[in-house]
Structure 1
């Protein structure tokens, strides 16, 4: 495992030296105060890379870190349950339900994905009798889910507000006014469990490259595995997890809403320590269902239409994905050249 006190510049993965990309850090307390220098840095992050660390190691953010710790306990309880109990929940809608391992394509050629996922939408958790898996439906578990969804929603709205102020938007044009709490949306909390896998010999490996359907993704993870490909870069590189920090990335909807000024973040997840179980939580803050914007093909499309269209592309076969426009899975972001790792894999070592 990589040391937690010092971030290496590169690590060895799958028989090759892979960079560890550094990211800018936005301070949550300064963001709440809308300090001009912090807003300027926030806008620059979204324009140049499309991702950044959000420092929650302060009085305003620490409770959100605690909420995530409680959610991690709930996740273990759900994922440790028998498969029959998890499948009983099933996939209710694209943004609500359970997806078993192998539902999508894997990160490497001729593989399926190596994770299972359970999703609880923000709209659903507010219902009088929400549709929640029976093994995590007691009052304490519901409170944990509610706290986590509320916390991540607050984080996302604070970022949107900062971006709106930073680029000079007013009134209805402000980004947060496309994400009103009382309007239906596909905003959802996704809890993911990645199984141990070896890229050389296993059929279920990681999470394929993509951009997120969301406006913003708030990611909590304590383990290595996330790789990003910054705009203009020729290869994927790791992002190091840092204690007390969330990883934020811009998704398709915010890129479209910004008239393509902001960058969507191309990313994927790979097995880093081949023997470990990896857990992560992603909150996908999405625009109201009827929000209208222009995608990378200059089509006018609603937020809900884009969500459902891209979700079906995720589930498509490799051949169908290859024939689909790259503007779908990658949100219109361009790649300098293809990035294919060979099949050779070596034991993990850290420089």
Structure 2
């Protein structure tokens, strides 16, 4: 069994060994909305020093987002139960839009493995324009209204965080982060719904989600289930991959490449992956990827001047490339230029191997 929420212990048992559960700051959304100076300082330090934090939404200002999250969870569970041909009605329309079946990317354990999840991505731009390309199992008016509400509330939450970061970094005018994330400008901002299947369904070669940093500026992530692992930044000793404990009433927020670039590499981009904590369960997570306007220009980790759209498309291609090609690509693409200290797994990790079915 997974340990209780917000566990007092520092380690949990996984793969027959002790694995750390990394601690992190908790930011109060209500205080951040009011631009409370101490809370602004807390979120800035979290982004400068770690690149991630819990966001406490269990208050009058955040409970709408928590309810929207529950509604989306019910919708996505129903959607993922639909036949594959219905879910894949449009296929992957664009890199930030459409359906990805299981095994589209590299898995959590590197060479020779594929991911163990299916994903539906809904474009914020298309929802805003009233013409979303959404597969028929969830295309009725009620479902579209629900998705619009959820995207709207997630957008508000992430913009509040951006505004606080701009204030805390003493940015003014056009330099403020939110001025490259305007609602009326095209972007690849998306709501992604992910379903990790039990290993007995996918087999031992389709497991989890590979180590990476996100393309986004900010990722607002919801999951009640264990499986997300992060690598804290730093070079003082072996900072191994460790779990993020689900925390009731909270979202997990982390910095992506675009905001790191926009900050002049001051913010940390969060290195993370997803592994099967309990390989027998269906795991669901919801991520809102707030991304900069398509034509936003910044200097990337290679020192190149690129637009946000160019970086998005190049990195998405790297995600979907075969692992052999990924191994030849610069690490700055998958990890956004972040440096690592310590091994992914101090001891070998074995993928879950389902019992072979005996012929009768």
Unaligned runs of 5+ in 2: 353-360
Deviation at 1:336? 1.5
Deviation at 1:344? 4.4
Deviation at 1:127? 2.3
Partner of 1:131: 133
Q: Is the 8 A contact 1:94 1:308 kept in 2?
A: yes
Could you say what secondary structure the match of 2:276 adopts? coil
Deviation at 1:2? 2.5
Cα shift readout 1:99-149 (whole Å, capped 9, x = no counterpart): 000000100132100000000010011223321111101011001100111
Could you say what secondary structure the match of 1:208 adopts? strand
Range that drifts further, 125-134 or 302-311: 125-134
1:302 and 2:307 equivalent? yes
Given the alignment, which residue of 213, 230, 247 partners 1:242? 247
Deviation at 1:85? 0.8
Q: Is the 8 A contact 2:102 2:117 kept in 1?
A: yes
1:10 and 2:11 equivalent? yes
Q: Is the 8 A contact 1:15 1:345 kept in 2?
A: no
Q: Is the 8 A contact 1:4 1:242 kept in 2?
A: no
- How far apart, in 2, do the equivalents of 1:287 and 1:266 lie? 20
| Structure 1 residues 50 and 211: CA distance shift in structure 2, 3 A | same
Give the 5 Å matches for 1:65-76: 65-76=66-77
Given the alignment, which residue of 112, 115, 119 partners 2:114? 112
- How far apart, in 1, do the equivalents of 2:5 and 2:116 lie? 29
| Structure 1 residues 132 and 15: CA distance shift in structure 2, 3 A | same
- How far apart, in 1, do the equivalents of 2:21 and 2:5 lie? 15
- How far apart, in 2, do the equivalents of 1:294 and 1:345 lie? 38
- How far apart, in 2, do the equivalents of 1:2 and 1:94 lie? 33
Given the alignment, which residue of 285, 289, 295 partners 2:290? 285
Partner of 2:273: 268
Partner of 1:172: 174
Deviation at 1:182? 0.4
Could you say what secondary structure the match of 1:126 adopts? helix
Deviation at 1:274? 1.3
Q: Name the TM-score, length of structure 2 as normaliser.
A: 0.93
Give the 5 Å matches for 1:19-168: 19-109=20-110, 110-168=112-170
Q: How many residues align?
A: 346
Could you say what secondary structure the match of 2:199 adopts? coil
Given the alignment, which residue of 311, 314, 317 partners 1:312? 317
- How far apart, in 1, do the equivalents of 2:91 and 2:248 lie? 33
| Structure 1 residues 111 and 67: CA distance shift in structure 2, 3 A | same
Partner of 1:333: 338
Cα shift readout 1:23-65 (whole Å, capped 9, x = no counterpart): 1000000000101111111100000000000000100001100
- How far apart, in 2, do the equivalents of 1:17 and 1:258 lie? 36
| Structure 1 residues 116 and 33: CA distance shift in structure 2, 3 A | same
Q: Is the 8 A contact 2:231 2:271 kept in 1?
A: yes
The ranges of structure 1 where at least 4 consecutive aligned residues each deviate by more than 6 angstroms after the TM superposition are none
Deviation at 1:195? 0.7
- How far apart, in 2, do the equivalents of 1:300 and 1:5 lie? 43
Q: Name the TM-score, length of structure 1 as normaliser.
A: 0.96
| Structure 1 residues 191 and 344: CA distance shift in structure 2, 3 A | closer
- How far apart, in 2, do the equivalents of 1:57 and 1:155 lie? 13
Partner of 2:222: 220
Q: Is the 8 A contact 1:13 1:345 kept in 2?
A: no
- How far apart, in 1, do the equivalents of 2:315 and 2:44 lie? 26
Deviation at 1:234? 2.6
Cα shift readout 1:253-311 (whole Å, capped 9, x = no counterpart): 00000000000000000000111000000000000000000011110000000000000
Could you say what secondary structure the match of 1:88 adopts? coil
Cα shift readout 1:151-190 (whole Å, capped 9, x = no counterpart): 1100110000000000100000000001000000000000
